[in-house]
Structure 1
């Protein structure tokens, strides 16, 4: 008589997560949970497409439960497992729905299944916000709130920064053909009482982490100016920022650095996608809940050096430091 298949339990998934952290093989893990190796392989294929992907037992288990329920009405995400896994995996990396929607357009331009708006992603996450899974998904959002805020109050019509420029950013900046076009942001610490600044080059991915004492506009822009003015002029041409009020002093920053300042459109984080991705990498060192007031400049510098010396697939497996050196050498040859 053929043995009936039994789905993986939450306890088994906990063991899988633990052994993965210990770098155990799939065969070893299968023996420990008394399962076929194919069962473990199938489970991990859903979540670990790349070496940097993360397996979390609780999210994997709730996904399995939700996926096996008889659904009364299914949204597009629930209807297509491939799309659902992409979105859940992106949430684990700290990617915002706005950036996910932008990434999907780039990665799957001709695939109708892999096509979704950021608003549909938010609706999926908040659809059952009181459920255990709903609460877990909301917590994975970069800026999580128990209830979805009304975009009519917080959206396009609410302009808090005077004279900001969003529509006139030159198209060639999007093409990443030259270094010196930067993106900037603040990463907020626990209870929104601390923050650090991040600046990253769109082409080379070279990162600058800025330690700040508070989130006041004058404080933030003064600290940005200090570090930006240490860079050669040809490596600081423009900066694209989000709509945070800390950049209200942007005209002063532009005057002191000689840089043009642009602002991403509301709900369009993909316009600063390099910065969003880099912030996700920083979160591996400084997870949500970190009090940045307790992080020293030396620690921030170590993180900065680590990421600037890490090979990137998007750079042909060169490091940001190597790419930056190439840009400096090209400029020196031009001057010679």
Structure 2
């Protein structure tokens, strides 16, 4: 047997070995032909899992090859237009148009070899990621630690840096950097500032249905005035409870439909109908009359004293249909945001009224796309000072 020489000679023998296998020769015969022991041939075969490592994978037919680019250049020199070139190559005219736009020089000349090299450079992996830029990653982190959502961060960066596209980033890029390891320079613990607090994505399963009880003298949402639906008239609210561990504690939530302004009810002594009534009446009474038109709630028994609330505050109360939480969409969304501050399976009675005010102020201080990037606090303050000019809400 021939002794192994240099590394180049070794690679040449391996390449010849695979070439002979491709021609149908058996492995022992190929080993004998290139002058190596059959065990070496077995190592090569096992390491490559039976596939020739020297054979370049053919490029997908959806991409232009070097031969295609040479043909484009020839036809271009002959004066052919985009559509004729496309017909000759069996391609869409848009493909040829993009190729000429991307890879022609400033003077309009198309050089096929240079175009092929640019194509190879663009195909290299891994690509540099947007959040590899330290300045951009820092701006995203500064907003994440304030519990802003990736969509709010995306929109705020676009407004803050209108003339710097390198400082713009999509919300999906932020999510990928948080959920997928190695997707950028964001800190690994920043996922805790997302609303869900999750480090991975999860599919949304079927929501669990609660048991509903009949409440006496309910007025259903079907009887609610039509003006409530388009959110043009302020003073209509949506409400619900977020419940703690074993349903022993709760916090009441109220959301104004036009401004998305949030108010929280402190319920230290449980969430019975009497407790919710006693917490809601003084809270509603702090509002001017034009901002207490109606309240929409689900059919939970915690609002069984709804008639007492209406009598004390002159606030009309309507009840959603069973199993239809989207009829209180703003409140459902707000409850999801609040879970970032008040997680499930915790005791919510430990939170003081001051803490509830602090959380409400933080939520009301976030810019909202539906309010043209103003905050709910700014929009609500406008209603207090000038009720004839309510902000316009664009989405439910």
Question: What TM-score do you get using the length of structure 2 for normalisation?
Answer: 0.48
Q: Tell me: higher relative CO, structure 1 or 2? Use CA pairs within 8 A at least 6 residues apart.
A: 1
Is residue 2:371 matched to residue 1:315? yes
**Separation in 1, partners of 2:203, 2:177:** 14
State the shift of 1:205 in Å: 1.0
State the shift of 1:35 in Å: 4.8
State the shift of 1:56 in Å: 8.3
Structure 2 regions of 5+ residues with no counterpart?
1-53, 58-124, 133-149, 155-170, 182-193, 390-396
State the shift of 1:237 in Å: 0.9
Post-superposition CA distance 1:149-187 (Å, at most 9, x none) = 6x9xx4xxx652111111201111011011110011000
Query: In structure 2, which of residues 236, 261, 266 is the aligned counterpart of residue 206 of structure 1?
Result: 261
What is the aligned partner in structure 2 of residue 127 from structure 1?
none
Is residue 2:318 matched to residue 1:258? no
**Separation in 1, partners of 2:363, 2:178:** 29
4+ runs of 1 displaced by more than 3 Å?
Answer: 34-41, 48-61
What is the aligned partner in structure 2 of residue 161 from structure 1?
215
Is residue 2:233 matched to residue 1:171? no
State the shift of 1:287 in Å: 2.2
Query: In structure 1, which of residues 200, 225, 240 is the aligned counterpart of residue 281 of structure 2?
Result: 225
State the shift of 1:219 in Å: 0.6
State the shift of 1:49 in Å: 6.4
State the shift of 1:242 in Å: 0.9
Post-superposition CA distance 1:42-101 (Å, at most 9, x none) = xxxxxx76648684899879xxxxxxxxxxxxxxxxxxxxxxxxxxxxxx966xxxxxxx
What is the aligned partner in structure 1 of residue 386 from structure 2?
330
What is the aligned partner in structure 2 of residue 295 from structure 1?
351
CA 1:265 to 1:190, structure 2 compared with 1: closer, same or farther past 3 Å?
A: same
Post-superposition CA distance 1:1-51 (Å, at most 9, x none) = 569xxxxxxxxxxxxxxxxxxxxxxxxxxxxxx95447999xxxxxx7664
Which protein has the larger Cα radius of gyration, Structure 1 or Structure 2?
2
CA 1:324 to 1:58, structure 2 compared with 1: closer, same or farther past 3 Å?
A: closer
**Separation in 1, partners of 2:290, 2:324:** 27
State the shift of 1:329 in Å: 2.3
1:264-283 to 2 correspondences below 5 Å: 264-283=320-339
**Separation in 2, partners of 1:205, 1:176:** 10
1:111-150 to 2 correspondences below 5 Å: none
**Separation in 2, partners of 1:38, 1:290:** 38
CA 1:60 to 1:189, structure 2 compared with 1: closer, same or farther past 3 Å?
A: farther
